[in-house]
Amino acid sequence: MKRITSLSQVTPAERGACTAIGNFDGMHLGHQAVLGLTRAAAARLDAPLAVLTFEPHPREVFRPDDPPFRLMNAEAKAHRLSKLGVDILYELPFDRPLFGLTHDAFCNDILVQGLGVAGVTVGADFCYGKGRTGNVETLGEAGREHGFEVIIAELLGLGGSGERVSSTAIRNALGDGAPHRAAAMLGHWHRIEGPVLHGAKRGRTLGYPTANMDISGIYPPKFGVYAVLVEVVGSAHAGHYRGVASIGIRPMFGENAPNIETHLLDFEGDLYDAHLSVGLVQFLRPEQRFDGVEALVNQIRADEAEARAILAKVPLVGFPMKGTADG
């Protein structure tokens, strides 16, 4: 996948794509529906399949004091879009010149002059331009005027529950410690991705070495211990593993910066500087403080046993899971 971060980088070969537009935070089933319609249009028009998104997320610009809300960072989003077969990712900076564009100027300057789109696909609630004055109706008018196709994806509900598939609903599920509910809307496990960092190495002394990752800047799931599926990327140990992860502030050791610490089951090796993608399968228990190291280790053993029993029913690669449910 070609990743383009400025209109000045767009070559003639990278123009004329069928392009899905949006934030695509989480790449949930609604986003995947938009991408599926775009893929079909690209095949019909013999055009590249592209996604147009923005960094930073517009909400981070307009509401900088909000707590972290993103389900995935830019790298995780690019990684998933690449896996979904996107040819080109236009990841444009959401800066003052861009958010100052009227909806007409956005269509002309970005879509027509900048990208030369053959078609665009958006969700039915799509708004754009300064003051969010543009919508699917004005986009359709622009398409007719400039000669690009416009496809509108209907909003999705979740089965018979009536709940709309959305990034907000997914955040609510994760905050409740219900990763299976989130996964039903995502169509895949919610994953936390990033490089493995050097930590305090306490896990080694306890017999349970962990790979530590920073979770700042993304929405934190409910603090506690999870059964997880892990993909290791960019390492001699690249592959898929089962594991146990702890998300939180490590109250046993008086720390307060949230992170995720993942122990890979039946694994030996060094993961420093590798990239991990940790999929949350089931919440096991809340984060807690123990009376001593022995009590902590006993609980870790119990967590491992429970995780093994749960993950034995779950395919190591792929989705959906079978035979488990959130408690």
For 151, list phi and psi in degrees, rounded to 5.
-120, 130
What is the C-alpha R_g of the chain?
22
Q: From CA 322, how far away is CA 182, in angstroms rounded?
A: 15
pTM: 0.87
User: In the listed set 130, 153, 176, which residue is the last one of a domain according to the structure?
Assistant: 153
Cβ neighbors of 21 (< 8 A, separation 6 or more) are 51, 52, 53, 120, 121, 122, 126, 128
Using alpha carbons, select from 240, 238, 221 the residue that is nearest to residue 229.
240
Please check whether residue 83 lies inside any domain of the structure: yes
Same structural domain, 68 and 142: yes
Say if 138 falls within a structural domain: yes
Give the model's pLDDT for residue 257.
78
Same domain, 25 and 107: yes
Supply the CATH number for residue 30's domain.
3.40.50.620
Is residue 148 within 8 Å of residue 164, measured between CB atoms? Answer: no
Task: Please give the structure tokens belonging to residue 278.
Answer: 């940790």
Domain-embedded: residue 162: no
Domain assignment of residue 321, yes or no: no
Return the axis-axis angle of helices 167-175 and 179-186, rounded to nearest 10°: 160
CA distance linking residue 303 with residue 308, whole number of Å: 9
Say if residue 144 is in the same domain as residue 212.
no
Sequence-distant (≥ 6) Cβ neighbours of residue 257 within 8 angstroms: 216, 249
Whether residue 161 lies inside any domain: the answer is no
Per the domain annotation, does 168 fall within a domain?
Answer: no
Indicate whether 89 and 136 sit together in one domain: yes
DSSP E strands, the chain: 2-4, 18-21, 49-55, 88-93, 119-123, 149-153, 190-195, 211-214, 224-233, 239-248, 259-264, 275-286
Q: Where residue 280 sits, what CATH number does that domain have?
A: 2.40.30.30
Q: Is residue 236 part of a domain?
A: yes
Contact 213, 194 (CB under 8 A): yes
Per-residue pLDDT tens, the chain, 327 aa: give them: 999 999 999 999 999 999 999 999 999 999 999 999 999 999 999 999 999 999 999 889 889 899 999 999 999 999 899 999 999 999 999 988 898 999 999 999 999 999 999 999 999 999 999 999 999 999 999 999 999 999 999 987 765 555 788 999 999 999 999 999 999 999 999 999 999 998 656 656 677 899 999 999 999 999 999 999 999 998 889 999 999 999 998 655 555 678 999 999 999 888 988 999 999 999 999 998 888 888 889 999 999 999 999 999 999 998 764 444 443
The answer to whether 232 and 247 have CB atoms below 8 angstroms apart is no
Give residue 217's domain range: 190-311
Angle at 215 between CA 214 and CA 217, to 5 degrees: 120
The sign of the torsion formed by the CA atoms of 14, 118, 22, 8 equals positive
State how many domains the chain has: 2
130 plus 216 within the same structural domain: no
**Residues 125, 215 within the same domain:** no
On whether both 195 and 306 belong to a single domain, the answer is yes
Instruction: Please provide residue 232's backbone torsions phi and psi, each rounded to the nearest 5 degrees.
Output: -100, 125
41 belongs to a structural domain: yes
Same domain assignment for residues 127 and 232: no
How far is Cα of residue 141 from the mean position of the Cα atoms in its chain? 32
Give the integer Cα–Cα distance in Å for 245 and 227: 7
Cis peptide before 320 (omega within 30 of 0): yes
Q: Which of 129, 153, 177 is the last residue of a domain?
A: 153
Partners of 4 in the beta sheet? 90
Of the residues 131, 153, 175, the one at which a domain ends: 153
